[in-house]
């Protein structure tokens, strides 16, 4: 039986295409990782293994710029992800546990709007908006823009998770004279945690990675990691950028692994 | 989650507070990429205690656009080219330096002390001057390169291997020189010819890129590159066998200037920095790094002796005129914009 | 993604019905101020008069749309003809994004299918393998791609050293490089929805078809594909929409030679042109196109759901 299903399911060539797909996805990153350990200043010649470009990232002439940019990026990402996850959690509760109501479709449209509008359009609109109300560009404008477009990214995993939780737990708690607020904080919220964490991580990464919108709304001297990297790589990729890229890849792998184990502990429950 | 939120809000508040506190000794500079050596900034900070934050741009036009889109009031100083100084002054984007506010103003070389783009140096001081032409990889092409034909009507070896600067001004001037027509001409036939020339030349150009103008020559991705003289010298030093051309039709001359922006948040510090850049020793350090020329008296004592003999700084006898980019009227500029869009469509 | 969550609406309960308004208020307020209001402001700007060298004058004008649709010659005084310039730019964007979408589909569908038919333990690992590169900054990925593809880059070095080619392939600064860059940027968006659809697919249907002597490819085409179609369409939209507005790939991999919509819009605000109303108008036209596309998709999705019963 298992044999025959396997046979029906498998198609010749699909495995090869999958492997090709992985090669295409990883080849540039692998090349960059390898070259980040090159001791040569030149990109084309290999002159032996070295960590000098990693040292350069932390102590070289551009290190201050990148440190400040990394700090800005992480602060913005943490605050934007926290605020948007909070808003998204409340909104998801209202949407999924709020019964049927007239504005439901409109609300959903509004929440997913940042996903539907092409990023360049959001960037232009936000720039025009801040400009027309005379709001000076700076770290605050970046933060506000990030909060807005992170909401749908936080919302989707949270609402998906909530739809998977039966409300009988909360009903039972209320039968035992828990208030709605208690049912929410003591029952629903803990059950929602895996969804909230993946929503937060998604929002965090999206904020950390954003270039187009940030580039339009950032103010004088306020760089985030992507805009600082852009300023550098536009003149051609340099070994220190490759080192930063490799470290970012490392951070991403760690975060993805964390979310993997979070979801795994959840599955075994 | 709650405590996490509290921590992050606290962290944010702390940073914003810290930024505000540091603002007393600050200076925000809006500058070209790869044009300011870090040592010079460090030296300034050491002498004055003022921290310099630098943002970079890659063309005069993008700098103007960004300042107009809300950048005024957030930067103190910028470094526009000659024609852009007059545009910005006309737009009312520059602050006036009163007499006596710059103690080193007398250090400016007489020939740059009263330029047409900023009479009396009311808003600006010289930063660097040089030329823009193009460089050719001599491994690829050994024929005559002292002609704008290299860009607009290239020999076969160079077709499809040309990188142009992504800058409307520089391309329009080179094209006008090639056609032998005046800049900003409002003559319809001449404008049509300009449009046709660029339409035709585009097939030979592989890319428009200012930022990688040097890198594409060093890596060999392009065999010809429209480029600034100092950048070409650097490309040569980095191993590219390139020769900088001085076309008989002429080439672009320019001077970049440090300007005091309107509503500069740190006006006093900005003036201090301008004075600092008028000290021969300091501006010479910039020149040694960027490999152009300073406009300040007494720099020669501090310059790298090799600079003066660079081929990029010594035109041959038959060279055409070095022309500054002119500011076109709104009507002609509208046509130029249309030609530019046609070129890139 | 979006459509999937929308159709999941049947799972609602009304535990927090009374608090609903308060729960949704923060989202309403934030998004209305920070997304809806800016789009409305952009719409207004597109009908204003341009200020020379950037900015707007608060006077009503149709000049931006006129410039988009009508060609009045180099000097703006000829009788209006249809303007092809921007249609060509939009068409190029559609074409490039379409080619990238097709490429993603051709590679992404078999990949998604392959992953969805692995054992349950292995699937998440495969999914992570596909998504990890996506977490690396888009800029770095695009620049890495350029580094790899350069004339003197590792790919050409490798191909020459194994004797497959004699002289380097010119890939950078071509349309193909842009498509490759877009494909590379958004591939996971294609794989994930298709994967989700195939995973939910009931393979008993395929078995039944096989019992009726349908060939494997017929089964794929007639039984599986219709069942996973919503996933395929969602994947195509998620690749197509961001590709349309992209300006990094054309700029870095295409040599900034040919405008795509994204670069045309960016140019109005950051580049030479400095024509804000025109940039706003081009953005509105792009937005309208995308929203129409999404609405067609939503309608199709609703039809499919109705058909399922």
Cα–Cα distance measured from residue C114 to residue C126, given in angstroms and rounded to the nearest whole number = 9
A residues 159-218 closer than 8 Å to C (CB): 159-160, 163-164, 167, 170-171, 180, 183-184, 205, 209, 211-212, 216
B129 interfacial to chain A (CB closer than 8 Å): no
What would the CATH number be for the domain defined by A61-265?
1.10.3720.10
Both tokens assigned to C267: 């140019």
Q: Tokens 């499919």 belong to which residue?
A: C304
Cα–Cα distance measured from residue C85 to residue C87, given in angstroms and rounded to the nearest whole number = 6
* The model's pTM: 0.83
Neighbours of A255 (CB within 10 A): 16
Rg of the Cα trace of chain C? 24
Would you list the domain boundaries of chain A? 8-37, 61-265
Cα–Cα distance measured from residue A93 to residue C83, given in angstroms and rounded to the nearest whole number = 50
Both tokens assigned to A92: 């998801």
Cα–Cα distance measured from residue B317 to residue B143, given in angstroms and rounded to the nearest whole number = 18
- Percent of chain B past pLDDT 90, that is, above it, reads 64
Q: Pick from A8, A148, A180: which is nearest to C34 by CB?
A: A148
Contacts 24+ apart (CB under 8 A), C80-85: C85/B341, C85/B342, C85/B345
Structural domains present in chain B: 2-129+255-308 (3.40.190.10), 130-253+315-344 (3.40.190.10)
> Over the stretch B218-269, which tens digit does the pLDDT of each residue have?
888 899 999 999 999 989 988 889 999 999 999 999 999 999 999 999 999 9
Q: Identify the pLDDT of residue C308.
A: 62
Q: At a CB cut-off of 8 Å and minimum separation 6, what does A268 contact?
A: none
Contacting residues of A for B55, CB less than 8 Å apart: 220-221, 223
Distance between C270 CA and the closest CA of chain B, angstroms: 5
Strands B251-260, B242-245: pairing is: unpaired
Both tokens assigned to A227: 């805009």
pLDDT band of residue C12 (cuts 50, 70, 90) is low
Q: Is A28's CB within 8 Å of C269's CB?
A: no
Helical H runs in B182-279?
A: 188-201, 213-219, 229-237, 267-277
Cα torsion B264, B267, B273, B276: sign:
positive
With both helix axes pointing from N to C terminus, report the angle between A119-132 and A139-163 in degrees, rounded to the nearest 10: 130
DSSP state of B114: S
Contacting residues of A for B53, CB less than 8 Å apart: 220-221
Short-list B176, B195, B227, CA closest to B345: B195
Residue pairs spanning A and B at CB distance below 8 A: 67
Would you list the domain boundaries of chain C? 1-40, 85-274
Q: Identify the pLDDT of residue C72.
A: 81
Least confident of A141-150, B56-65, C217-226: C217-226
B69 interfacial to chain A (CB closer than 8 Å): yes
A46 interfacial to chain C (CB closer than 8 Å): no
Neighbours of C79 (CB within 10 A): 8
Distance between B177 CA and the closest CA of chain A, angstroms: 28
> For A177-201, b where at least 16 C-beta lie within 10 A, e where not — what string?
ebebeebbeebbeebbebbbbbbbb
> Over the stretch A38-69, which tens digit does the pLDDT of each residue have?
887 766 667 778 888 888 888 877 787 888 88
Q: At a CB cut-off of 8 Å and minimum separation 6, what does C101 contact?
A: C190, C236, C239, C240, C243
Mean pLDDT of C283-301: 88
What's the Cα-to-Cα distance from B38 to each of A61, A110, B124, B229, C148, rounded to whole Å? Answer: 7, 47, 22, 21, 31
Q: Identify the pLDDT of residue A266.
A: 55
Q: Is B15's CB within 8 Å of A234's CB?
A: no
Mean pLDDT of B11-34: 64
pLDDT band of residue B14 (cuts 50, 70, 90) is very low
Q: Kindly state the helix (H) or strand (E) to which residue B257 belongs, with its residue range.
A: strand B251-260
Cα–Cα distance measured from residue C96 to residue C93, given in angstroms and rounded to the nearest whole number = 5
Of A143 and C123, the one with more pLDDT: A143
Cα–Cα distance measured from residue B262 to residue B251, given in angstroms and rounded to the nearest whole number = 32
Q: Cα angle vertex B329, ends B323, B335, to 5°? A: 95
Contact of C131 with A253, CB cutoff 8 Å? no
Both tokens assigned to C128: 């992570």
Q: Pick from B65, B338, B344: which is nearest to C258 by CB?
A: B344
C107 interfacial to chain A (CB closer than 8 Å): yes
Q: At a CB cut-off of 8 Å and minimum separation 6, what does B5 contact?
A: A82, A86
Contact of A155 with A92, CB cutoff 8 Å? yes
Both tokens assigned to A103: 């504005």
Contact of B151 with B164, CB cutoff 8 Å? yes
Q: Pick from A15, A43, A129: which is nearest to C38 by CB?
A: A129
Q: Pick from C53, C76, C85: which is nearest to B341 by CB?
A: C85
> Over the stretch A100-124, which tens digit does the pLDDT of each residue have?
788 888 898 899 888 888 889 999 9
Cα–Cα distance measured from residue C194 to residue C231, given in angstroms and rounded to the nearest whole number = 5
Q: Is A75's CB within 8 Å of B11's CB?
A: yes
pLDDT band of residue C281 (cuts 50, 70, 90) is very high
Q: Pick from C76, C89, C152: which is nearest to B220 by CB?
A: C152
CB-side exposure of C170: number of CA atoms within 13 Å? 12
CATH number (3.40.50.1820, 3.50.50.60, 2.40.30.10, 1.10.3720.10) of C85-274 reads 1.10.3720.10
Q: Tokens 């501090």 belong to which residue?
A: B302
Q: Is C114's CB within 8 Å of A113's CB?
A: no
Average pLDDT across chain A, whole number: 83
- Percent of chain C past pLDDT 70, that is, above it, reads 94
Cα–Cα distance measured from residue B333 to residue B304, given in angstroms and rounded to the nearest whole number = 41
Short-list B297, B323, B343, CA closest to B104: B297
Contact of B162 with B206, CB cutoff 8 Å? yes
List subunits contacting chain C, requiring 3 or more Cβ pairs under 8 Å: A, B
DSSP state of C120: T
Identity of the highest mean pLDDT range in B76-85, B302-311, C81-90, C181-190: B76-85
> Over the stretch B74-126, which tens digit does the pLDDT of each residue have?
899 999 999 999 999 998 999 999 988 999 999 999 999 999 999 999 999 99
Q: Is C54's CB within 8 Å of B68's CB?
A: yes
Cα–Cα distance measured from residue C11 to residue B344, given in angstroms and rounded to the nearest whole number = 51
Q: What does residue C132 show for φ and ψ, rounded to 5 degrees? A: -55, -50
Interface mutation target, options B203, B338, B340, B343, chain C, most CBs of C under 10 Å: B338
Using a 10 angstrom Cβ sphere, with 0-12 exposed, 13-18 middle and 19 or more buried, the burial of residue B224 is buried
Q: Kindly state the helix (H) or strand (E) to which residue C58 belongs, with its residue range.
A: strand C56-60
Q: Identify the pLDDT of residue C130.
A: 85
Q: Tokens 């934050």 belong to which residue?
A: B53
Contact of B206 with C255, CB cutoff 8 Å? yes
Least confident of A83-92, B95-104, C2-11, C25-34: C2-11
Strands C81-82, C70-71: pairing is: antiparallel
Strands B124-137, B51-57: pairing is: unpaired
Q: Identify the pLDDT of residue A263.
A: 67
3-state SS of chain A is: CHHHHHHHHCCCCHHHHHHHHHHHHHHHHHHHHHHHCECCCCCCCCCCECCHHHHHHHHCCCHHHHHHHHHHHHHHHHHHHHHHHHHHHHHHHHHHCCCCCCCHHHHHHHHHHHHHCCHHHHHHHHHHHHHHCCCCCCHHHHHHHHHHHHHHHHHHHHHHHHHCCCCHHHHHHHHCCCCHHHHHHHHHHHHHHHHHHHHHHHHHHHHHHCCHHHHHHCCCCCCCHHHHHHHHHCCCCCHHHHHHHHHHHHHHHHHHHHHHHHHHHHHHC
Contact of A182 with A251, CB cutoff 8 Å? no
Strands B224-228, B124-137: pairing is: antiparallel
Cα–Cα distance measured from residue B80 to residue B58, given in angstroms and rounded to the nearest whole number = 11
Both tokens assigned to C124: 């998440």
Cα B8 to chain centroid distance, Å, stands at 41
Contacting residues of C for A91, CB less than 8 Å apart: 23-24, 26-27
C277 interfacial to chain A (CB closer than 8 Å): no
Both tokens assigned to C113: 């299918």
Mean pLDDT of C98-107: 93
Q: Is A234's CB within 8 Å of B28's CB?
A: no
β-strand partners of B94: B261
């Amino acid at each position: 039986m298992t044999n025959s299903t396997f046979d029906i399911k498998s198609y010749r060539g699909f495995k090869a295409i999958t492997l090709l797909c992985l090669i295409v996805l990883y080849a540039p990153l692998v090349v960059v990782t390898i070259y980040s350990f090159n001791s040569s200043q030149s990109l084309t010649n290999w002159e032996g293994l070295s960590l000098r470009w990693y040292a350069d990232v932390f102590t070289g002439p551009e290190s201050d710029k990148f440190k400040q940019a990394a700090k800005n990026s992480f602060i913005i990402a943490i605050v934007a992800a926290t605020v948007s996850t909070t808003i998204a959690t409340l909104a998801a509760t209202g949407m999924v546990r709020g019964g049927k109501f007239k504005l439901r479709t409109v609300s959903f449209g509004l929440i997913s709007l940042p996903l539907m509008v092409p990023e360049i359009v959001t960037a232009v609109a936000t720039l025009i908006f801040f400009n027309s109300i005379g709001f000076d560009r700076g770290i605050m404008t970046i933060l506000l823009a990030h909060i807005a477009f992170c909401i749908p990214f936080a919302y989707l995993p949270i609402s998906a998770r909530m739809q998977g939780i039966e409300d009988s737990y909360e009903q039972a708690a209320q039968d035992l004279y828990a208030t709605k607020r208690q049912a929410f904080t003591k029952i629903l919220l803990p059950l929602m945690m895996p969804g909230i964490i993946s929503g937060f991580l998604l929002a965090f990464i999206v904020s950390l990675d954003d270039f187009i919108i940030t580039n339009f709304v950032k103010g004088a001297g306020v760089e985030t990691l992507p805009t600082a990297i852009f300023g550098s790589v536009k003149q051609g990729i340099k070994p220190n950028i490759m080192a930063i890229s490799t470290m970012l890849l490392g951070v991403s792998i760690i975060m993805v692994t964390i979310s993997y184990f979070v979801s795994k502990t959840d599955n075994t429950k | 989650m709650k405590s996490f939120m509290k921590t992050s809000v606290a962290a944010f508040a702390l940073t914003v507070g810290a930024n505000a506190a540091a603002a007393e000794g600050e200076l925000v500079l809006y500058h070209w990429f790869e044009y300011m050596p870090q040592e010079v900034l460090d030296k300034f900070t050491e002498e004055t205690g003022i921290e310099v934050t630098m943002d970079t741009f890659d063309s005069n036009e993008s700098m103007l656009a960004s300042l107009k889109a809300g950048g005024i009031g957030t930067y103190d100083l910028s470094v526009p080219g000659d024609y852009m100084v007059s545009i910005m002054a006309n737009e009312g984007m520059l602050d006036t330096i009163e007499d006596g506010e710059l103690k080193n103003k007398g250090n400016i070389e007489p020939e740059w002390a009263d330029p047409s783009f900023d009479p009396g140096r009311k808003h600006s001081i010289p930063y660097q001057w040089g030329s823009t032409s193009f460089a050719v990889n001599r491994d690829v092409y050994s024929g005559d390169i002292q002609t704008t034909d290299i860009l607009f009507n290239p020999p076969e070896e160079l077709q499809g291997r040309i990188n142009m600067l992504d800058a409307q001004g520089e391309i329009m001037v080179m094209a006008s020189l090639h056609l032998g027509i005046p800049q900003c001409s409002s003559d319809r036939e001449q404008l049509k010819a300009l449009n046709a020339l660029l339409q035709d030349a585009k097939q030979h150009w592989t890319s428009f890129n200012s930022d990688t103008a040097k890198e594409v020559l060093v890596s060999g991705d392009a065999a010809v590159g429209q480029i600034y003289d100092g950048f070409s010298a650097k490309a040569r030093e980095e191993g590219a066998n390139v020769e900088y051309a001085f076309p008989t039709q002429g080439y672009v001359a320019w001077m970049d200037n440090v300007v005091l922006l309107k509503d500069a948040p740190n006006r006093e510090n900005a003036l201090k920095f301008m004075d600092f850049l008028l000290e021969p020793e300091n501006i010479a350090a910039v020149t040694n790094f960027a490999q152009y020329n300073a406009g300040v008296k007494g720099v020669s004592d501090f310059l790298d002796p090799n600079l003066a003999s660079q081929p990029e700084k010594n035109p041959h006898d038959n060279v055409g005129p070095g022309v500054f980019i002119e500011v076109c009227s709104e009507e002609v500029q509208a046509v130029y914009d249309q030609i530019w869009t046609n070129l890139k469509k | 993604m979006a459509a999937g969550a929308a159709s999941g609406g049947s799972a609602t309960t009304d535990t927090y019905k009374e608090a609903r308004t308060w729960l949704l208020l923060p989202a309403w307020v934030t998004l209305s101020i920070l997304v809806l209001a800016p789009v409305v402001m952009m719409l207004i700007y597109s009908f204003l008069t341009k200020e020379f060298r950037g900015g707007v004058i608060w006077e009503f004008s149709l000049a931006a749309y006129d410039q988009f649709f009508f060609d009045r010659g180099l000097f703006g005084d000829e009788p209006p003809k249809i303007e092809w310039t921007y249609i060509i730019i939009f068409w190029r964007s559609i074409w490039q994004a379409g080619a990238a979408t097709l490429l993603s589909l051709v590679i992404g569908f078999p990949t998604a299918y392959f992953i969805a038919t692995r054992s349950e333990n292995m699937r998440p690992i495969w999914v992570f393998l596909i998504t990890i590169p996506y977490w690396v900054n888009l800029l770095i990925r695009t620049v890495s791609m350029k580094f790899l593809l350069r004339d003197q880059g590792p790919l050409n070095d490798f191909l020459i050293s194994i004797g497959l080619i004699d002289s380097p392939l010119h890939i950078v600064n071509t349309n193909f490089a842009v498509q490759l860059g877009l494909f590379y940027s958004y591939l996971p968006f294609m794989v994930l929805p298709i994967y989700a659809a195939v995973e939910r697919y009931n393979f008993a249907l395929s078995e039944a078809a096989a019992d009726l002597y349908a060939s494997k490819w017929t089964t794929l085409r007639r039984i599986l594909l219709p069942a996973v179609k919503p996933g395929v369409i969602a994947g195509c939209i998620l690749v197509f929409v961001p590709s349309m507005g992209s300006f990094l790939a054309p700029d870095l991999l295409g040599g900034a030679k040919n405008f795509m919509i994204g670069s045309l819009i960016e140019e109005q605000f950051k580049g030479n042109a400095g024509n804000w109303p025109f940039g706003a108008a081009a953005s509105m036209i792009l937005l309208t196109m995308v929203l129409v596309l999404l609405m067609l998709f939503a309608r199709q999705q609703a039809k499919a759901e109705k058909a399922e019963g």
